[in-house]
Amino acid sequence: MWVVFAITLAAVVLYATEYFTLEFTSIATITVLLMLFFLFPVPGPDGDNALDAARLLAGFADPALLTVLCMLVMGQGLIQTGASHRVARIILRLARGSGKLAIGITLLLAMILSGVSNNTPLVVVFIPVMQALADQDRRSSSKVMIPLSYAAILGGMTTLIGSSTNLLVSGSLVDMGQAGFTMFSFTIPGLVVAVVGLAYAGLIAPRLLPKRDSMAGTLVGSSGRQYLAELTVGTHSNLDGHASESGMFPALTDVTVQMVQRGEHAELAPFEQVVLRPRDTLVVAGTRQALMDLLERDTGLIGDTDASTLDGESPVTPRRPGDEQVLIEAMIAPASRMVGNNLEQIGFRRRFNCIVLGLQRRSRMIRQRVTEIRLEAGDVLLVRGRRDDLRALRSNPDLLIMEWSAAEIPNLHLARRALIIVGLVIAAISFNLVPVVIAAMSGAAAMLLLSCLNIRQAGRSIESKVVMLIAAALALGHAMQATGGAVFLADIAVAIVGTSHPAILLSVFFLMVALITNVLSNNAAAVLFTPIAVSLANGVGVDPLPFAVTVVIAASCSFATPVGYQTNLLVMAPGHYKFSDFIRAGLPLVFVVWLAFSLFAPFYYGL
């Protein structure tokens, strides 16, 4: 038991610090458990090893895990068909009136829709919507992105399919011989908590969050009336063969050179031993007069609106006079094919005729060569190009354009199919027509069969982090239960609080799970604490249902850190947040939700 506790603690620390990747930590945890219980078997009721390889690896075929993966596939189908953008169009129309009202409506809709769909793809859809509404209301996106994530998390507490956490707790209960949840088993207490939490997220959290500029604002707005320009070295340019000295270019002292782009390769300042050649593109910042003087002095430079070519061939699509160069921010989608590749491997400039000026990861600006960084889901790219080229990026499913507007919805007939499929799945689960896993797998299969998405897009929606994390958490849960660790922790909690006050025990247990879920993942916390919840209920002689619901709601209180919930990671870069911002806004929300649940749940369940 104590060895399992030590392994669990080590896994929690590694998950929280991300010293290794989540996949590596999960594989290592499972491997250590396999070796431990092979060498030191735990006898079961039938005398066989209760923690053999089949038991510890059963998480990979767990119905709860399969249900989660199928829900992700259905969520991806809603995105691919554009079905989820219907709501976005309505909200953006409302934004022509009161910006604050539109933001409030967005948070409320995000909470409601999160109760009937997976909240990760939902937040992906609402991020650019919230960005557009924040811009219209003239407020920083850092004031609204964390509340968006919180609204989606709170909505996921209201129904069985609202979050993978809920499905995992229900699956763990069935695995332990208990009755699983129905669609609306915890809707009433979840709704009470969600309404209280949403009021905090919409009214108080924005006051606690800092105002931060976007990447574009940080790059060009901090040095007065500066402009970014893209200058290409021609064959007759004075800069042909010009070498850098002490990290700078002596002939370009009136402007600041931000980047030298050579094909798909980028060089960032300071420039060491860089010799300029024809077709090199310089991204520079300077005043309008300085840029005009530079072009007048060097007629071989090709400026932003110059239609000239190099040796009869332009390094990018020739620009027509009057073409306007604009900056946008684009986020790498969770299921993007770009994940794991760098910009050179993707051929970003050649494919999209745009240049990436900067990359932001979890609110930090990456200072190394942008084109050599392997992209991750949630990375935000600062992209510069013509309006026509940037408009073409909007239809690319691998990128999420932050300055997104409600243009036409793609494949409306397919969007209708996707909505019908999701509606039928929700109805089948709500009326207990079939088990949850069958409904989810049928819905995912229907999405593929009716061409709402293809097999490649479905595969991209299934993240290895989710699979490995849940499998490792289930293995730890089995080990803790078989070695007596769950009962031991339950006995300690009962001894501290006492057996005569189940309401107090419920409140203390909720706070313990809510705090731990912010350093562990919500899914891992759900699986680990479900056996403890059942043991606690049995220890005080009450129905396990209130304690199981406590795990559902408390394990979703991942408000205080970005690592606790995937939606927090998704909004971290678009909102330009630091780790401390989540603590500042999220820790009070943890206690607000705890108080609301502690006051309502004992009354509702008659404890």
Exposure of 174 in the CB half-sphere (CA atoms within 13 A):
14
- CA distance linking residue 164 with residue 466, whole number of Å: 10
Q: What are 192-207's pLDDT values in tens digits?
A: 999 999 999 989 998 8
Q: What is the pLDDT of residue 221?
A: 46
Average of per-residue pLDDT across 556-582: 76
Mean pLDDT of the chain: 76
Res. 183: pLDDT tops 60 = yes
Q: What are 41-96's pLDDT values in tens digits?
A: 888 777 788 888 888 888 787 776 777 678 778 777 776 676 655 555 666 666 66
Res. 306: pLDDT tops 50 = no
> Could you tell me the pLDDT band of residue 488, with boundaries at 50, 70 and 90?
confident
All structural domains of the chain, each given as residue ranges with its CATH number in brackets, are 64-213+417-458 (no CATH), 215-401 (3.30.70.1450)
Average of per-residue pLDDT across 375-386: 78
Average of per-residue pLDDT across 574-581: 75
- CA distance linking residue 570 with residue 333, whole number of Å: 9
The answer for 332, left when phi > 0, alpha when psi is -120 to 50, beta otherwise, is beta
Res. 408: pLDDT tops 50 = no
25-50 b/e (C-beta count within 10 Å ≥ 16 → b): bbebbbebbbebbeeeebeeeeeebb
Q: What is the pLDDT of residue 124?
A: 67
Q: What is the pLDDT of residue 132?
A: 67
> Could you tell me the pLDDT band of residue 597, with boundaries at 50, 70 and 90?
very high
Average of per-residue pLDDT across 521-530: 75
> Could you tell me the pLDDT band of residue 34, with boundaries at 50, 70 and 90?
very high
Identify whether the C-beta of residue 523 lies closer than 8 Å to the C-beta of residue 473: yes
What percent of the chain has a predicted confidence (pLDDT) above 70?
Answer: 75
- CA distance linking residue 133 with residue 125, whole number of Å: 13
Q: What is the pLDDT of residue 198?
A: 93
8-state DSSP, 433? S
Output 5 or 431, whichever has higher pLDDT.
5
In 3D, which of 310, 370, 380 has the Cα closest to residue 346? 370
Q: What are 134-161's pLDDT values in tens digits?
A: 766 677 778 888 999 999 999 988 888 7
In 3D, which of 515, 502, 490 has the Cα closest to residue 603? 502
Res. 226: pLDDT tops 60 = no
